[in-house]
Structure 1
Amino acid sequence: MFKILVATFAGLTLLTGCQSTSYTSVNDEVGLPTQLSITISNVRNTDGQLIVLVHDNSGDYHDDLNIHDPNANFYLKKVVTPSMPNTVVVFDNVPAGRYAINVIHDEDSDGGLDRMILPFTGMPSEPYALSNNIYDHFSKGDFDNALIEISAPKSKVDLRLATHLKKVVGM
């Protein structure tokens, strides 16, 4: 059993390691100040917290670190109390540009996305959402596919929470 877990972990590490990462911002210039409004739908309970992360580079996006980790860097971050069925989170003065947005419903308030041990080792067990509603069967999906354009003076983004298993089976 241990050998299966090690092989699964090694395979997942290899798959996620194949994606190109860089800690350089994809935005070459500082854009005009923008109000970014994110509506998070399908909030199923008010347990824990919603972690809303805005990324401007693939390195921080793919690091997937706990928000309490001293090595964690996010372009923007807010932690809010969830409200059902939708929660709206607003960031003011975001420079217009391209960003990837990641939302985690951290139901146990431990600061990160919990993952299954069995039966699907490594699969996220808490609901999450990514900009452009992307996901991949074996990882959170490519940064370039998650990029969206934020335009001045106001931009609105709609994200729908779901567990990874529900995303994979199309629920």
Structure 2
Amino acid sequence: MRAVILLGAAALTAMAAPAAAGEVTITVTDLRSSDGVVRACMTTKEDIFPRCIKDPASHRTVVPAGENVTIRFTGVEPGSYAIALLHDENDNGKADRALGMMPKEGYGFSRDAKVSMGPPKFEDAVFDHDGTAQNLAITMRYFL
């Protein structure tokens, strides 16, 4: 009887435990060159997207640009996220623009959200992460 009670308690404890944080793997396609780096950020904060550097809890990384680019965010808690990518071809840490508006470097967003007179809205790029391993593909786009 005691073994049954202990097993039942262990089962309840396991059910009450929060979902384990998972990994989000992003395959970046269509880079026009291997110059520079790809800057990536992933946030749950709608009000600051795509500038998730303003979110101290965001996931951010920089990887070398190349023919095949894979980005991994580990320890990702379940939630609703959006991802923004920048192909920083000259590796100067910012999104270079022509005429003050048009991006000169590549960009991409989760769900391949489209750009129209500015970055997409969070709701167009948002995806749900359930805490398990998840694979996404994002196409790099270039305006110029």
Question: TM-score, normalised on structure 1?
Answer: 0.67
Unaligned runs of at least 5 residues, structure 1: 1-29, 166-171
Aligned equivalent of 1:92:
74
The two structures, once aligned, show a CA RMSD in angstroms of 1.9
- How many residues are treated as equivalent by the alignment? 126
SS at match of 2:47: helix
Structure 1 consecutive aligned stretches of length 4 or more whose deviation exceeds 4 Å:
none
* Equivalent runs, 1:66-105 vs 2, <5 Å: 72-73=54-55, 75-84=58-67, 86-105=68-87
What is the rounded CA distance, in whole Å, between the counterparts of 2:34 and 2:102 in structure 1? 22
Q: Percent identity?
A: 23
SS at match of 1:112: coil
Unaligned runs of at least 5 residues, structure 2: 1-17
Letter paired with 2:121: D
What is the rounded CA distance, in whole Å, between the counterparts of 1:52 and 1:83 in structure 2? 14
* Equivalent runs, 1:130-145 vs 2, <5 Å: 130-145=109-124
Letter paired with 1:154: A
What is the rounded CA distance, in whole Å, between the counterparts of 1:109 and 1:83 in structure 2? 13
What is the rounded CA distance, in whole Å, between the counterparts of 1:59 and 1:140 in structure 2? 13
Aligned equivalent of 2:105:
126
SS at match of 1:36: strand
What is the rounded CA distance, in whole Å, between the counterparts of 2:66 and 2:114 in structure 1? 24
Question: TM-score, normalised on structure 2?
Answer: 0.79
1:53, 1:78 within 8 Å by CA — same for their partners in 2?
A: yes
